[in-house]
Amino acid sequence: MAAMEQRPELPLPQLHAFVVLAEELHFGRAAARLGIAQPPLSQQIRRLEDKVGAPLFARPPGLVALTPAGRELLPAARQALTALADGLAAARAAADGRTGTLRLGFAASLALTLLPELLRTYVGHYPQVRLDIREMTTAPQLAALREGSLDVGLLREPPSTDPDLSFRTVLTEPFVAVLPRAHPLAAQRTVTPAQLAEHPFVLLPREAGPGLHDRITDLCAPRVAQRATEWQTVCALVETGLGVSLAPASIRRIRLKGVAFRPLSGVTDARTVVAVAWREGDDSPLVRNLLETISRP
């Protein structure tokens, strides 16, 4: 079997010298543009001609002109140098987290608070990054982070410890009572958790977010009548009179005519934690840049 023909390798510095000389057609100007002396330039050109196996420049007295071989090589040499420059720029952009795809999970309620401004700021700094944004409750976010199908999560009430994940508190917000507008408790300025516990409750299922679910049940030991995964649905069920609820204060931005929101009284530290989560040890520049964006005042 005949050996495969090997193409000669063309070192990029020699190609660069060739292109500059082809554009200047003058050794002195080309050497000055390259920042080298004329003898090293001549050596680069001779080495390239040795690899090609033909002269690239005709050198009649006082003139420099491309030979047919040189004219044939010039477009390919320019293309190779451009491709290298583009490749280096793309590599630097990826290394800096300015390109690529960031997979971001978020709790639905954060679309009412943190998420819009965060995305505006991040996109303003990194417009070439593609965002894969997924609305997910806390437990699915944690699972997706661990298995690597999500890069960053924005969630409520993270677990106290997790060997696979890192967490950073982003904000805290108070809980509020969610009531049918015609409910007797809606006539009060504030409501205690004990008062809420006397009425049927609409609550998130525990599997959607164990931390948030347990935080609410610790506050008022509710009698759960209905369950709903999303706060929009919780509020809709409250509006129909199927029960009352406790929710993060940002839920007040859900405008339903038949729903009233009231601050809590009679308890201290009745707040919910919002955290950003990512895989422990993840050194992705995309993740780093998002975390820095969240940290900006």
What is the value of pTM for the model shown?
0.74
Given a cut of 80, whether residue 18 has pLDDT beyond it is yes
> pLDDT band at 266, cuts 50/70/90?
confident
**Residue range(s) of every CATH 1.10.10.10 domain in the chain:** 12-95
Report the topology of domain 100-166+283-295: D-Maltodextrin-Binding Protein; domain 2 (3.40.190)
* Amino acid type, 288: R
Query: Rounded to whole angstroms, how far apart are CA atoms 127 and 114?
Result: 19
- Average pLDDT for residues 129-134, to the nearest whole number? 94
> pLDDT band at 112, cuts 50/70/90?
confident
Report the topology of domain 12-95: Arc Repressor Mutant, subunit A (1.10.10)
CATH 3.90.1150.10 given to domain 171-273:
no
What contacts 24+ positions apart, CB below 8 Å, involve 78-85?
Answer: 78/19, 80/10, 80/12, 80/15, 81/12, 81/15, 81/16, 81/19, 84/12
Amino acid 108: pLDDT: 87
**Residue range(s) of every CATH 3.40.190.290 domain in the chain:** 171-273
Closest to 175 measured CA to CA, from 135, 234, 124:
234
Per the CB < 8 A criterion, the answer to whether 217 and 209 are in contact is: no
More confident residue, 160 or 185: 185
Given a cut of 50, whether residue 2 has pLDDT beyond it is no
